[in-house]
């Protein structure tokens, strides 16, 4: 489960980092609908619901999902997590 926690923390760190391309600060809704109000954006029920509302979040999740399927030292993080859950 440490693997899942590490991946989740890294994804959140990336999403909250203004220097990252796929960050909350680059979401169209953050700029246009929430007038750069981070608190409002993070409480929004539409967060992560579709590619139209939060394309940066969806791209970030897709990138991390892909990375979890890649092998590191012969083991895939996805397989480690699945084994821990079972």
Helix (H, G, I), strand (E, B) or coil at 43: helix
The 10s digit of each residue's pLDDT in 67-76 is 777 766 667 7
Q: What is the pLDDT of residue 26?
A: 96
Range of the domain at 79: 2-85
Which among 9, 13, 15, 6 is positioned nearest to 84, based on CA atoms? 6
The 10s digit of each residue's pLDDT in 11-25 is 999 999 999 999 999
Report how many domains make up the chain.
1
The 10s digit of each residue's pLDDT in 30-76 is 999 999 999 999 999 999 999 999 999 999 999 888 877 776 666 77
pTM (two decimals): 0.78
What are the backbone dihedrals phi and psi of residue 55, each rounded to the nearest 5 degrees, phi first?
Answer: -65, -30
Q: What number of H helices and E strands is found in the chain? A: 5, 0
Q: What is the pLDDT of residue 54?
A: 95
């Amino acid at each position: 489960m440490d693997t899942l926690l590490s991946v989740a923390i890294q994804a959140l760190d990336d999403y909250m980092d203004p220097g990252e391309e796929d960050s909350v600060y680059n979401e169209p809704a953050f700029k246009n609908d929430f007038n750069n109000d981070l608190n409002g954006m993070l409480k929004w029920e539409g967060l992560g619901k579709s590619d139209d509302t939060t394309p940066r979040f969806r791209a970030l999740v897709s990138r991390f999902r892909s990375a979890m399927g890649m092998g590191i030292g012969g083991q895939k993080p996805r397989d480690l997590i699945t084994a821990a859950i079972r």
